[in-house]
A and B are shown apart, each in its own frame.
Chain A
Amino acid sequence: MRDDKNIQNNNPFEMPGKENPFSTPEGYFESFNDRLQGKIEEQENPQKGKVLHMLRPALGLVASFLVVFLLLYVPLKIYMPKIAEQYYSKEQVVDTTEGMEAILAEIEDQFFLFESTVTNETEELEPDQIMDCIAMEIKDYDLIFAESLNN
């Protein structure tokens, strides 16, 4: 019977027949029209999709910054609250006018002192001079810290 069919179809060799071996998911053809309609509407009114598509790089950038910020801020807040607090209190000193003036005056003095030692004598610093500078730094820091405690 199969041979007759093959001869009729000009297929003189054994073939598995013309039945379709492929299948589709259940209800595929029934739902096809709706999906096609959706695609046509999307193509004809691309405004919403277009705006989102245009904003996508900017949104990605904002999201990346947020992630980086959270990765830095949250562990600092949770695991090192003291440092965070200290940093905050330092900022308070800077915010006050008196504290600010004191810091500026100290920086100015230090700058003039350092400039005079370098320009008046030699280009190279002597070990003693370096030690003096370090001592001055510590002194200045102590002064600023004391100022912050007073406030």
Chain B
Amino acid sequence: MSPEEQKILRNLKDENSKNRAFNDLVNLYKQRLYWHIRKIVISHDDADDVLQNTFLKVWKSIDNFRSEAGLYTWLYRIATNEALSFLKQKQKRSILPLNDVSEYLVETLKAENHFSGDEIQQKFQEAIIRLPEKQRLVFNMKYYDDIKYQDMSKILDTSEGALKASYHHAVKKIEEFMRNQA
């Protein structure tokens, strides 16, 4: 844990400095968590909702946080769970005949205003979206955020070996998808 994180945690335990420390925590992690969530839910508006819910949950449960668990892995774990729950709720509430959440996400990607990528990048994102849930999470966390397998293992509660295998399968599937689209 970095000295900055340790200081934030110390201040969070003190009622007088709790609000300021929480604000520091939000400032330190809001962007990283936002991009992590955004790659799961695709839409900016949805990512904003999930990010707010994530920090709300952090605020409510910060007293129960055990300092031996890494702060950053704990936050990523909450954000991942919130994003996946959000998608499940969305799928349940949807009146569209969707068999798979990936179809909804591909449609969201095509309609997304805040996407500045070109056609190849759009196809690449579509390939990632069409991966199975665990492979998609692992690929995004490794490829974009360069998170260590050791940390990823704590976040996703999966063995390092299984995560490496998931990444390998994800790469193969994306490669195949991109070849077929070319």
Contacts and interface: CB of A to CB of B under 8 A. Distances in A.
B145 to A, nearest CB: 10
A97 B144 CA distance: 91
Contacts of B27: 33
A12 B172 CA distance: 9
Interface stretch (A17-25, A48-56, A59-67): A17-25
A32 B59 contact: no
A112 interface: no
A11 B143 contact: yes
B124 interface: yes
B171 A11 contact: yes
Contact of B116 (A14, A15, A22, A36): A22
Interface residues of B, number: 34
A14 B27 CA distance: 35
Contact of A29 (B30, B39, B125, B144): B30
B144 A22 contact: no
Contacts of A9: 143
Contacts of B171: 10-13
A2 interface: no
A35 B178 contact: no
B30 A21 contact: no
Contact of B114 (A12, A13, A16, A22): A22
Q: Interface size for chain A: under 10, 10 to 19, 20 to 34, or 35 or more residues?
A: 20 to 34
Contacts of A32: 26, 30, 48, 51
A72 B178 CA distance: 65
Contacts of B143: 9, 11, 18
Nearest to B60: A43
A39 interface: yes
A100 interface: no
A21 B125 contact: yes
Contacts of B56: 36, 39-40, 43
A146 B121 CA distance: 90
B32 to A, nearest CB: 11
Given A29-B34, A36-B26, A20 B144 contact: yes
A22 B44 CA distance: 9
A15 B115 contact: no
Interface in A91-148: none
4 nearest A-B pairs in the assembled complex, by CB-CB distance: A21-B117, A21-B121, A13-B175, A16-B121
Interface of A: 9-16, 18, 20-25, 28-29, 32-33, 35-36, 39-40, 43
